[in-house]
A = this chain, B = another copy of it.
Amino acid sequence: MTEYRIAQGTVSADNETRMSALKADYEALGARLARDGLDIDAVTGKVAQFFVAVPSWGVGTGGTRFARFPGIGEPRNIFDKLDDCAVIQQLTRATPTVSLHIPWDKVDDPRRLKTHGDALGLGFDAMNSNTFSDAPGQEKSYKFGSLSHTDAATRRQAIEHNIECIEIGRAIGSKALTVWIGDGSNFPGQTNFTRSFERYLDSMKTIYQQLPEDWRIFSEHKMYEPAFYSTVVQDWGTNYLIATELGEKASCLVDLGHHAPNVNIEMIVARLIQFRKLGGFHFNDSKYGDDDLDAGAIDPHRLFLVFNELVDAEQRGAQDFHPAHMIDQSHNVTDPIESLIRSANEIRRAYAQALLVNRKALEGYQDDNDALMASETLKAAYRTDVEPILAMARLQAGGAIDPIAAYRASGYRQMVAKERPAVAGGSGGIV
């Protein structure tokens, strides 16, 4: 029996005030969709089965190299973090799993994580290793790289860290390892592109050999940052080479904020699906660089177009298609719980909109090169306000019709602020 930190009565009370409006909106939308031959309840049912993992690090306030401005009631450790994640799941019913980051979430006995998660009704998604910063007491520094470092002992240390992540993951029921490294260079000439990548591949092959039979490994590309001239795994082309070199259990993770300006990301998604190497997503949104903003906050149409590819693949039965869904955001100016709640909703919104696309009509327009009507077919789905579907999916699963409102009504943040002492903000002279 799940022990929620927010009383279900609080949620129910808030829902009660919104019930009749939701019912009216849902019926009106249902009637409209029915005219197009769509069964709203079927759509709601599919949406209710769509889940996205929450990152443990996401419930803490993020920052930039210039500063971090903490909020109140910041989680002190992974157990507090799981508590916060459980609130998100309680209210949205869209985020039943948490993705951990080692060593940040490392505890003496991983079984304690499992027990705490079980009590909160939370499972564990992909494990994330960290060789982009130095942990206290670490022997070798990752200043000049980790899995691609010129020094064999440093590479070995990074490999062993990843293997440790797998071991922790096995103890708590995770089935995947996500590897993102910051390796690269700040100046032309600093590294040799080819030898760096050879070393990276060697290291990854060693990790891959330690992967349990039923696990998957995701490599994640990123154009730049923290390296500012070159990055070892800089784009999907390199990422595809990695997944191919490693083997069947390896595939590519797409973080929506890790691409060059203007790049057509939904097309990259389509290519990776076609060549059976789409591993999953780190959802977020961005305007400039890897801004890690809330999903759908800047360009919701782009998010929809990504989901349009996913639904298309799902419906045509694409092979080896079972992408992992994870959020990866930095919440610098909002309550992280609120940002994660709404991001989970936005991701489901894009999925719901994509489910509404009349794919048979679309295919016909595409075959006829009727560019305008093909485009309008996508837009008709996109502009549909599917909020009633999302709210009904939450409600029927025990969540909140308006999860932000219910969260605020619950006073959760003020409550944990009393338990959790304030932490100092960071400036640190990192400029």
Specify the chain B residue showing the minimal Cβ separation from A63.
B430
Residues 285-312 of A contacting B (Cβ, < 8 Å)? 286-289, 291-294, 297-302, 305, 308-309, 312
Asked whether any CB of chain B lies closer than 8 Å to the CB of A104, the reply is: yes
Query: In A330-386, which residues have CB < 8 Å from any B CB?
Result: 330, 332-335, 338-339, 342, 349, 362-363, 365-369, 371-379, 382-385
A230 to chain B, nearest CB (A): 5
Chain B residues with Cβ below 8 Å from A21 are 32, 35
Give 1 or 0 for each of A412-431: 1 = CB within 8 Å of chain B CB.
Answer: 00000000000011111111
Indicate if A186 sits at the interface (CB-CB under 8 A): yes
A332 proximity list for chain B (CB < 8 A): 186, 226
Partner of A25, one of B32, B229, B382: B32
Docked pose: A308 CA to B270 CA in angstroms? 33
A197 contacts partner chain B, Cβ-Cβ < 8 Å: yes
Q: A134 and B223: CB pair below 8 A?
A: no
Contact of A371 among B64, B187, B192, B273 (CB under 8 A): B187
Scoring A241, A271, A362 by chain B CB atoms within 10 A of each residue's CB, the highest score goes to A271
Enumerate A239-265 residues with CB–CB distance to B below 8 Å.
Answer: 240-241, 259-264
A173 part of interface (Cβ distance < 8 Å):
no
Most buried by B among A144, A237, A387: A237
Interface-facing stretch out of A5-13, A66-74, A114-122, A206-214: A66-74
Min Cβ gap A8→B in Å is 24
Known: A228-B288, A383-B387. A431 touches B62 (CB 8 A): yes
Does the CB pair A189–B366 fall under 8 Å?
yes
Mask: chain A, 260-278; 1 = CB below 8 Å from B; 0 = not: 1111101110110111000
Q: Are B192 and A366 in contact (CB under 8 A)?
A: yes
Categorize the interface residue count of chain A.
35 or more
Chain B positions within 8 Å of A4 at CB level:
none
- Could you tell me if A187 and B294 are in contact, using CB atoms closer than 8 angstroms? yes
A193 vs B21: C-alpha distance when bound (angstroms): 34
Partner of A228, one of B67, B193, B291: B291
At the interface, yes or no: A225 with Cβ under 8 Å from chain B?
yes
**Residues of B with C-beta under 8 A to A286:** 228
Interface, chain A (partner B; CB < 8 A): 21, 24-25, 28, 31-32, 35, 57, 60, 62-69, 101, 104, 130, 132-136, 141-144, 150, 182, 185-195, 197-198, 223-226, 228-230, 234-238, 240-241, 259-264, 266-268, 270-271, 273-275, 286-289, 291-294, 297-302, 305, 308-309, 312, 330, 332-335, 338-339, 342, 349, 362-363, 365-369, 371-379, 382-385, 387, 404, 424-431
Q: Given A28-B31, A64-B225, A190-B369, 4 more contacts at CB 8 Å?
A: A24-B32, A67-B134, A223-B288, A228-B293
List of 10 A-B pairs having minimum Cβ-Cβ separation, nearest first = A237-B237, A67-B133, A260-B260, A28-B28, A133-B427, A69-B143, A187-B375, A228-B291, A193-B270, A189-B378
27 A-B pairs whose Cβ atoms sit less than 8 Å apart in the complex: A25-B32, A60-B429, A65-B226, A68-B430, A69-B143, A101-B431, A130-B427, A186-B333, A187-B374, A189-B375, A191-B366, A193-B267, A193-B271, A228-B287, A230-B267, A235-B263, A237-B240, A240-B240, A240-B241, A262-B288, A264-B287, A289-B289, A297-B375, A301-B301, A338-B372, A384-B385, A426-B428
